[in-house]
Amino acid sequence: LERLPANIKTAIVKYVTRVYGGFHNDEIFSFILPMDLIKLNLSGSTVTGKTLEAIGGTCKLLQTLRLSGAVYKFTEKDLLELIPKLQKLEVLQISKCDAVSDNLLMYVAEHCPAINMIDVSGCKNITDESFEYFSKTNIERLNLANTNITDNFLQNLGKSEFAKSIEEINITDCNITDRGLSFLQWDKMKYIGFSGC
């Protein structure tokens, strides 16, 4: 498997994730990863610390990483060790994961200058503190649905330069009131999701 051309490896990765619902064997996964992979969707896969280590060790050009819907078998430490290796990352989607916290967003802000979309919906360890890290990025699309942000996050957002880059924000099912919603720049955003607030 290691000797296969990169285009064949990429085709196998896409096929396994689409047809078989993902990878569930770290050894095969690590052999099949092509170095020039730009997009990786592991939704439905079993993602372990070894999976993340393989991604970080091989996929230096990765721009999109989607892990939502995966079976998470990794720690916060595993995730934090991965992020500095993905300096070209533009899109990160990882939802309903206990290993995701404000620390992850700090690492993304520090190591992923091209990041423009983050989806951490359902990650209960995301709090108002995360605003400090988001504000250091050029994120255009932000999904914080069902996290532990409050009106304070939106108040800080409304006062910041960072608000100018945000085109879409989803804060559905967060502890947000009308007061918090009043801080958003409604006329400048293309989408604001706020049901359940």
The arithmetic mean of pLDDT across residues 16-26, rounded, is: 84
Average pLDDT over residues 90-117: 96
What value does the mean pLDDT of the chain take? Answer: 92
Q: What is the mean pLDDT of residues 100-129?
A: 96
Q: Express each pLDDT in 66-82 by its tens digit.
A: 999 899 999 999 999 99
List the domain boundaries for the chain. Answer: 38-193
DSSP one-letter string for 134-156: HTTS--SEEE-TTSB-BHHHHHH
pLDDT at 85 over 70: yes
Cα separations in angstroms, 10 against 6, 7, 32, 169: 6, 5, 8, 32
Q: Which residue did the predictor score with more confidence, 98 or 161?
A: 98
CB 139 within 8 Å of CB 112: no
Residue given tokens 């400048």 in the structure block: 188
Report which of 60, 15, 63 is spatially closest to residue 34, judged by C-alpha positions.
Answer: 60
* Whether 92 contacts 115, CB under 8 Å: yes
Predicted confidence (pLDDT) at residue 1 exceeds the cutoff of 70: no
φ, ψ of residue 56 to 5 degrees: the values are -65, -35
Q: What band does 17 get if pLDDT is binned at 50, 70 and 90?
A: confident
Confidence of residue 14 (pLDDT cuts 50, 70, 90): confident
| Cα–Cα distance for residue pair 132/148, rounded to 1 Å | 15
Mean pLDDT of 121-130: 96
Q: Which CATH superfamily is domain 38-193 in?
A: Ribonuclease Inhibitor (3.80.10.10)
Distance CA 41, CA 63 (A): 11
How much is the pTM?
0.91
State the Cα–Cα distance between residues 113 and 158, nearest whole angstrom: 22
